[in-house]
Structure 1
Amino acid sequence: MERREIAGLLAYIGRLDPRTMRTDTAELRDQIAQWHELLGDVPLSTEHGWDARETVRAHILDSPYPILPVDVARKWRAYQRDRLARHTDPTPAADPDNVTAWRAELLGTRHAVAHGQQAPVEQRAITAGPGPDIEAYLEATGSPIPPVVRAQLAPFRPTRAAREAAVMAGRPDPLSVRCEWCHAPIGEPCRSRRTGPDGTARGNARRTVPHPSRVDLAAARTRQGAAA
């Protein structure tokens, strides 16, 4: 804001909150200088949602304390952070081999977005949720992971693979119940606990195969659910 814009903003504040008004010329000059020091790089308004007067009005409505220039500056920084967080950096039109031009265009777009001169570019395909094709695929397969990929991942996540194999075969999922032998909670694999001669635990390794008692308990719970 320029000094004349700050003077106009202070006049607007004085109309809404007379406590901030300065009648002495020297005091008013010092007040304008103080506000300009903190708000010199903050615009009075932009075409994309920023207006310092709205910030002032909201502060006066919500706070019993007189507004300070730092209150406006902090709101402006929050406005910039929000816009940059929603911006996804579209690919510059400049030649990517021209690093200087490519970088200048990228930074120029970010600067325009942060300063309210341009709306953030959001990737709607990512934020809008699955489309009809994806929904149909999930309905048919029940999983976003293709079966071929799932088979390739099985050696790297044996516990998950065992659960999926049990469900596909119509058997109960052992990890759907708590293990009464090793006390593994629901959803966690069983543990191979070894006890030393002094009674302390010497091992706590994960098991790829659940304890038999846990399998029996899951089966019993499934039968009880079916009977109910």
Structure 2
Amino acid sequence: MDRLEIAAILAYIGRLDPRTIRAEAGEARDQIAQWHDLLHDVPLATTHGWDVRAAIRAHILDSPYPILPVDVARTWRTYRRNRLDRHTDPTPAADPDDPAAWRAELLGTRQAVATGQTAPAVFRQIGRGDPRPDVEGSPRAIESCVPPAVRAELARYRPTRAAREATVAGGRPDTLSVDCVWCHARAGEPCRQRRLGPDGTTRSNAVRATPHPSRVDLAAAQPNQQQAA
């Protein structure tokens, strides 16, 4: 703000808080000079949310003390800091092989955001709304987050998963979707063949090629069998 704007602001403050009025000409000049020294880089208002009059009204309403120029300066610094915290630097249009031009454009964009001349760029913000038309139908087309071609390539590396998917595709219940009450294998894990020694200790714990019959019956009794994840 220049000196004329400072004088207008002091007159505005005087109407809201008469304690700040300086009746003598010398005191008024000193007051304008003091405020100008601290607020010469603070704009009167911007197009993106800053208005020094709003900051003054908020201080007068919240504080019993007369407003000082440092109060306005601190509010302006908070405004600048909050805007930069919400800003994501967009890629400059300058040639990346020209570091000076690249840096100058980057700093210029940040300065414009900090001073309220432009809105912060929030490219990383998660937006709301319907999905894009070219993306919405893709999950429905493949019915899985893994495309069929990729799923076929992975089948040889995960035979248990491939067998489960083939079972469900054939209309049969997914046996591994339930726990096994015989060997206590959890859902998603294959059954195991445990062999006990004469002393009662486990001597082998091999994976069974087929699930236990009790597990098959339990899976068949489960309603709404879904495809394996």
Q: Shorter-chain-normalised TM-score: which range?
A: 0.5 to 0.7
User: What 5-or-longer segments of structure 1 have no aligned partner?
Assistant: 142-146, 152-164, 171-228
Quick one: distance in 1 between partners of 2:79 and 2:187? Answer: 49
TM-score (norm 2): 0.58
Q: Which residue of 2 aligns with 1:159?
A: none
1:61: how far off? 1.1
Q: Which residue of 1 aligns with 2:126?
A: 127
Which whole-Å deviations, capped at 9, do the CAs of 1:185-211 have from their partners, x for residues lacking one? xxxxxxxxxxxxxxxxxxxxxxxxxxx
Which whole-Å deviations, capped at 9, do the CAs of 1:126-162 have from their partners, x for residues lacking one? 432797569x79x967xxxxx99xx9xxxxxxxxxxx
Structure 1 residues 168 and 47, CA gap change in structure 2 (3 angstroms): same
Moved segments of 4+, more than 4 Å:
129-134
Q: Which residue of 2 aligns with 1:64?
A: 64
Quick one: distance in 2 between partners of 1:27 and 1:128? Answer: 54
SS of structure 2 residue aligned to 1:127: coil
Quick one: distance in 2 between partners of 1:65 and 1:103? Answer: 43
How high is the sequence identity, in percent, across the aligned residues? 64
* Structure number having the greater helix percentage: 1
TM-score (norm 1): 0.58
1:62: how far off? 1.3
Are 2:76 and 1:76 aligned? Answer: yes
Quick one: distance in 1 between partners of 2:75 and 2:186? Answer: 55
Are 2:31 and 1:31 aligned? Answer: yes
Coordinate RMSD, CA, aligned: 3.1
Larger Rg: 2
Quick one: distance in 2 between partners of 1:167 and 1:99? Answer: 57
Quick one: distance in 2 between partners of 1:169 and 1:21? Answer: 82
Quick one: distance in 1 between partners of 2:81 and 2:130? Answer: 30
Quick one: distance in 2 between partners of 1:70 and 1:140? Answer: 60
- Residue type at the aligned position of 2:85: A
User: What 5-or-longer segments of structure 2 have no aligned partner?
Assistant: 146-150, 158-184, 191-229
